[in-house]
Structure 1
Amino acid sequence: MSGVPSRVVVVTGASSGIGRETALAAADRGDHVAVVGRNPERTRSVASQAGGEAYVADFDRLDDVRMLAEQLLARYERIDVLVNNAGGLVSEWELTADGHERTLQSNVLAPFLLTRLLRPRLEATSALPGVAPGTVRVLATASMANQWGRLQLDDLEWAERPYRRGWPVYGTAKLAVVMWVRELAERLTGTGVDAYSVHPGMVATSFGGTSRLVRLGNTVLAGHWGRSARSGAEPLIAFSSTLPMDAPSGTYFSRFRPFGRTAPQASDPALRHALFELLVELTG
């Protein structure tokens, strides 16, 4: 649409941390950035710094995700990259307004739904004249924590298993991210759109602010337990650019290293397919 530069990059969870750094770096290289966040003031501040546009959405509400998609589709005739970065860890089992466990919804259901709704625009962008092959992408922030995940489709909401301050749930959510992105990549074959999941590294941001373990680590190590937000964002910054990827669509990256370690379930194609279909059902 008028006033929008050639490339459009959508970054969720962009009001702080690695999302903010990714948005600002994308703007610095000349991309137009749609800055998506939960906190209105911080989201608008980052959008102002990036010369982009702010979109406020709470991923604890799937209707917010649907509204966000409507706004993005109405505003942009093209979307080159979707960076699904929003998510987090909560320490107590809680349900969202939609009746889903919060960690599952913020890390899995909400980004899955947003990707589904924006997919036609991404595919249309890849077919535009002048768009370099392999540069239209879906990225999702995963984690090395996926290795301790244990996917159980009949208890995806973690209602029947010990919550343990949210850590096994978080690991399983990130395993689900690796798996649905890998399945999405297969379904995108021939469309010109690629998909990747990325572990940014241990980042010292506001992540896990409700976790006693994270707070203890910050206290013991005087806030220096992880890499900076800028350092953590480096893979997302690079992968959201037009730089070529050195691994096939669907790959899980541990920072810049392709084919990072994953839980055994990630390699089960039947389970990936079943998970994808269940996520379609849960997100309507």
Structure 2
Amino acid sequence: MQDKQVVITGPTAGIGRETALELGRRGARLTLLCRAQHKGEALAAEVASLGGPPAQVVVMDMASLASVRAAGQVLLDRGEPIDVLINNAGLINTERRESADGFEETLAVNHFAPFVLTGMLLSLLQAQPGSRIVNVASDAHKFVRGMGFDDMQAEQGFRTFREYGRSKLANMLFTLGLAKRLEGGSPTVNCLHPGAVSTSLGSQNDGLLSGLLPLLLKPFFKSPEQGAQTTLFLACDPSVAGVSGQYFAKSRPVKPKPWAQDAEAAERLWRYTEECTGFVYSL
């Protein structure tokens, strides 16, 4: 990964942090997209202390599409081709909240934001042969049996694990839809179940569930260090250079639930996301 340009969201905690540190150790030039400038700068300093190249910090709040667009524009203005984009950041809520744009926040942060960011950066990825997009999804797609298009914004009732599972399913269907559109070209796009959870996932919630969420999710997760391995595999390993549209766990391709392989649902979600975000891919 020496001198490879890597852009990563959610890099200051959990598996994102472990991924960023290891990529820095391997010589990657990191762009850290994070909500808190001071946390990004602290991570950049840590990467440098490990001998990694200087990392750049770009502030981005994934609950605001304006912020996502602004961050994407910073990278476009910089104009440097991107080798790897890692859509890592994730959120889980215990009650219905709305993003700055008025969308159910779990879906907005976990799906709408990476959809727009990836679309904005696509030209920089296409400018670099062999580039890759890595989407951190989850086996939490097993919490649901489909997207539930009749109530995408959870206005008829909010359920923590249903909304989280639906957002992770959206990551997988987005991967499927984008891989189809990029078929035979660069970048490749794959998604994964990390097997780890940031200790901060869900900690923005109030009350008892803030502490219980990591325990409830424990069957799906291991340690951050272990969880970063599949992300690193997809970002770095030459054996997957030509692989696209797949779902990985423990650094191996695995077959997800049927509703995560539904091409018709992927297309419906794509159209819905374009309508909500106002962002249309130029493919």
Query: TM above 0.5, one fold?
Result: yes
User: Matched residue of 1:82: which SS?
Assistant: strand
Q: RMSD across aligned C-alpha pairs, in angstroms?
A: 2.4
- 1:184 maps to 178
Q: Aligned pair in 2 of structure 1 residues 239, 17: CA closer, same or farther (>3 Å)?
A: same
How far has the Cα of 1:25 moved from its partner?
Answer: 1.0
Aligned partner of residue 62 in structure 2, secondary structure: coil
- Aligned mates of 2:255, 2:125 — CA distance in 1: 26
Question: Do the aligned partners of 2:15 and 2:198 also contact (CA within 8 Å) in 1?
Answer: no
- 3-state SS, counterpart of residue 120 of structure 2: helix
Query: Of the candidates 112, 118, 121, which is equivalent to residue 121 of structure 2?
Result: 118
Is 1:33 the equivalent of 2:52? no
Going from structure 1 to structure 2, the CA distance change for 1:204 and 1:282 (only over 3 Å counts) comes to closer
TM-score, with length taken from structure 1: 0.87
Distance 2:242 2:85 in 1: 18
Specify the SS of the correspondent of 1:77: coil
Shift of 1:124: 1.4
Helix, strand or coil for the counterpart of 2:265?
Answer: helix
User: Quick check: 1:253 aligned with 2:248?
Assistant: yes
Match of 2:133 in 1: 138
* Residues 1:234 and 2:239 are matched in the alignment: no
Match in the other structure for 1:132: none
Residue number among 249, 265, 271 corresponding to 1:271 in the alignment = 265
Specify the SS of the correspondent of 2:33: strand
TM-score by length of 2: 0.87
**SS of equivalent to 1:35:** strand
The residue that corresponds to 2:85 in the other structure is: 82
Shift of 1:87: 1.4
Change beyond 3 A, Cα 1:260–1:99: same
Q: Which residue of 2 is the match for residue 280 of structure 1?
A: 274
- Residue 54 (1) aligns with residue 57 (2): yes
Deviations 1:221-255 (A, max 9, x none): xx999522111111112221153218831101123
Name the SS of the counterpart of 2:86 in structure 1.
Answer: strand
Give unpaired runs (5+ residues) of structure 1. 127-134
How many residues matched? Answer: 268
Q: 1:201 to 1:219 in 2, by over 3 A?
A: closer
Is this contact kept in 2: 1:85–1:141, CA < 8 A? yes
**2: CA distance, partners of 1:124 / 1:193:** 9
Q: CA deviation at 1:170?
A: 0.3
Amino acid at match of 1:91: T
Residue 127 of structure 2: SS of its match in structure 1?
helix
Q: Would the alpha carbon gap of residues 260 and 215 (structure 1) be closer, same or farther in structure 2, given more than 3 Å must change?
A: farther
CA positional deviation for 1:167? 1.0
Structure 1 vs Structure 2: percent identity of aligned residues? 34
Q: Displacement of 1:152 after TM fit? A: 2.0
The answer to whether the 8 Å contact 1:205/1:228 transfers is: no
SS at match of 2:239: coil
2:281 is matched with none
The equivalent of 1:148 in structure 2 is 143
Question: Which residue pairs with 1:200 in the alignment?
Answer: 194
Tell me the amino acid that sits aligned with residue 74 of structure 1. Answer: D
SS of aligned partner of 2:140: helix
What amino acid is the match of 2:142?
Answer: Q
Matches of 2:171 and 2:219 in 1, distance apart?
Answer: 27
- Stretches of structure 2 lacking an aligned partner (at least 5 in a row): 48-53, 279-283
Q: Is the 8 A contact 1:200 1:232 kept in 2?
A: yes
Structure 2 CA distance for aligned equivalents of residues 124 and 13 of structure 1: 24
- Separation (CA, whole Å) in 2 of partners of 1:247 and 1:90: 36
What is the alpha-carbon distance in structure 1 between the residues aligned to residue 195 and residue 183 of structure 2?
A: 29
